[in-house]
Structure 1
């Protein structure tokens, strides 16, 4: 196993423990990059100003640089540092904090009515389509537009992975163009939704293209992270039928489950940082051009961060986690993501979807841990 294949392994956590035992920050000659595996090293790398989200020589991946997806990518706050990250974040984050939980519940309930009855298709849509549709609806898209917006977001997200192929990249360019047109039309309507209005107010008039790109980014960040968070929460319940029964009896604890799963089995297992200038972290000198693979999932299970880290504890005191990032790049939509995921999982618990035997594999990915479910035939 290595830190890349660990992401989709059935149980990568003993391997992460072995990495922490060797060194919090160590060089992997096979991967050609540094591995930050301890909580202290991960915190230091994420906080250091010389550890950037993109390499200086390649702010946009070459494979998509010449198309619409590359244009969007280059303006995303999560793919920039400094003012190009701080200003969009300041515009987007306040509105996300003010979305009422009741509105999320209403939107999830309405969208669930339109999902297929087939278990596999239903779970897939709950993971991949429904969260994006909720956010798109909050931004003001009409109900009949939501399936198309979710599909375009899926196509755009594929280009964010270095493992994407030519066909996926071409589809991502088309999706970026189409999503841009949809947001242009949405912004021309009056009045816009309360969430969209708050975000628009945060951007200056000269920042129209940046606004469009980061609205697309809001959908794309929702897509796989929500799919993994919902999916891994369902895995926790399917692995522990007593926990499933307990939460059905006490549904007010579902939010605690999601808060613990995002630490215990996070949807984003790692992220990367690129060293822009010489710096010293965790007793190691890093040179410009060095790449650090930041193992968020390993740090979450560091006993220096959380006591009894391997246990899934709903009532964990002082829970600490790097799953949504840290510092200047901490995800601005964390409360919204947890609220949507909790509502979706709660709705599934009220149904019989999880009562039959279900197996899963993990979607191929370099950093995302996203289960794909398959119902098993019942034995007689």
Structure 2
């Protein structure tokens, strides 16, 4: 196993523990990467101003730089530093914080009846379609547009992986063009939705292209954050039928489950940072051009961060986690993702079809831990 294949391994956490035992920040000659595996090292890398989200010489991946997906990528706050990151974030984050959980719940419940009855397809749509549709509806898209917006978002997200192939990149360029057009039409309507109005007001004079790119970014982050969070929460429940029964009896504890799952088995296992200038972290000097693989999932289970880290404890005190990032690049939509996932899991917990035999494997990915569910034949 290595830090890349660990992401989709059935149980990567003993391996992460072995990395922490070798030192919080260590070089892997096979991968040509520095590995930050301890909570201390991960926190230091994420906070250091010389550890950037993109290489200085390649702000946009070469594979998509010349197309519509590349133009969107170049303006995403999550893929930038300095003012190009701070200003869009300052516009988007306050608007998201004013979305009430009750409204999110209503949006989810309105979409649930339209999901497939087959449990495998139902779980798939709960992970990949419904969360994006909820955010798209909050932004003002009409009900008949939501399936298309969700599909386009999924096509766009594929190009964000370095492992994407040509057909995926071509589809991502088309998706970026279509999403840009849909948002342009939406912005020209009057009135626009309360959430969209707050974001527009926050952007001010930053420019329409940046606004639209970061609205697309909001949808793409929703998909990535929600698919794994919902899926890994279901895995926890399917692995522990007693816990499933307890949550059916006390659904108010679903929020505790989600808070613990995002720490215990996070959907984003790692992220990368690129060293822009010489710096010293955890007693190690890093040179410009060095790449650090930041093992968020390993840090979450560092006993220096959380006592008894390998236990899934709904009532964990002072829970700490890097799953939604840390510092300047911390995810601004964390509360939104948790609210969507809470309502979805609440509905699924009540679904008797979860009693069927259900299996899963993990979606191929370099950093995302997202289970894909299938129904299994009944055993006799």
Task: Give the TM-score band, short-chain normalised.
Answer: over 0.9
Task: Provide the secondary structure at the position in 1 that maps to 2:361.
Answer: strand
5+ residue gaps, structure 1, are: none
Task: Provide the secondary structure at the position in 1 that maps to 2:323.
Answer: coil
Give the Cα–Cα distance (whole angstroms) in 2 for the partners of residues 209 and 188 of structure 1.
14
TM-score by length of 2: 0.99
Give the Cα–Cα distance (whole angstroms) in 1 for the partners of residues 353 and 29 of structure 2.
45
Give the Cα–Cα distance (whole angstroms) in 1 for the partners of residues 72 and 48 of structure 2.
26
Residue pairs, 1:301-380, within 5 angstroms: 301-380=301-380
* Residue matched to 1:161: 161
Give the Cα–Cα distance (whole angstroms) in 1 for the partners of residues 51 and 375 of structure 2.
43
RMSD: 0.6
Q: Give CA deviations for 1:133-163 in whole Å, capped at 9, x if unaligned.
A: 0000000000000000000000000000000
Give the Cα–Cα distance (whole angstroms) in 1 for the partners of residues 283 and 101 of structure 2.
44
The 4+ residue runs of structure 1 with deviation greater than 2 A are none
Give the Cα–Cα distance (whole angstroms) in 1 for the partners of residues 92 and 175 of structure 2.
22
Instruction: State the Cα distance separating 1:18 from its structure 2 match.
Output: 0.2
Q: Give CA deviations for 1:143-195 in whole Å, capped at 9, x if unaligned.
A: 00000000000000000000000000000000000000000000011111110
Task: Provide the secondary structure at the position in 1 that maps to 2:307.
Answer: coil
Give the Cα–Cα distance (whole angstroms) in 1 for the partners of residues 82 and 206 of structure 2.
18
| 1:334–1:206 Cα change, 3 Å | closer
Give the Cα–Cα distance (whole angstroms) in 2 for the partners of residues 363 and 354 of structure 1.
21
Give the Cα–Cα distance (whole angstroms) in 2 for the partners of residues 234 and 87 of structure 1.
36
Give the Cα–Cα distance (whole angstroms) in 2 for the partners of residues 188 and 285 of structure 1.
51
* Residue matched to 1:220: 220
* Residue matched to 2:91: 91
* Residue matched to 2:205: 205
* Residue matched to 1:60: 60
Q: Does 1:147 align with 2:147?
A: yes
Task: Provide the secondary structure at the position in 2 that maps to 1:186.
Answer: helix
Instruction: State the Cα distance separating 1:205 from its structure 2 match.
Output: 3.2
* Residue matched to 2:117: 117
* Residue matched to 1:233: 233
Task: Provide the secondary structure at the position in 1 that maps to 2:191.
Answer: coil
* Residue matched to 2:260: 260
Give aligned pairs, total. Answer: 380
Give the Cα–Cα distance (whole angstroms) in 2 for the partners of residues 152 and 213 of structure 1.
14
Instruction: State the Cα distance separating 1:269 from its structure 2 match.
Output: 0.1
Q: Which moved more, 1:279-288 or 1:96-105?
A: 96-105
Task: Provide the secondary structure at the position in 2 that maps to 1:160.
Answer: coil
Give the Cα–Cα distance (whole angstroms) in 1 for the partners of residues 172 and 202 of structure 2.
27
Give the Cα–Cα distance (whole angstroms) in 2 for the partners of residues 256 and 139 of structure 1.
28
Give the Cα–Cα distance (whole angstroms) in 2 for the partners of residues 171 and 6 of structure 1.
28
Task: Provide the secondary structure at the position in 1 that maps to 2:34.
Answer: strand
Instruction: State the Cα distance separating 1:206 from its structure 2 match.
Output: 4.6
Give the Cα–Cα distance (whole angstroms) in 1 for the partners of residues 188 and 255 of structure 2.
37
* Residue matched to 2:32: 32
Give the Cα–Cα distance (whole angstroms) in 1 for the partners of residues 241 and 158 of structure 2.
34
* Residue matched to 2:73: 73
Instruction: State the Cα distance separating 1:224 from its structure 2 match.
Output: 2.0
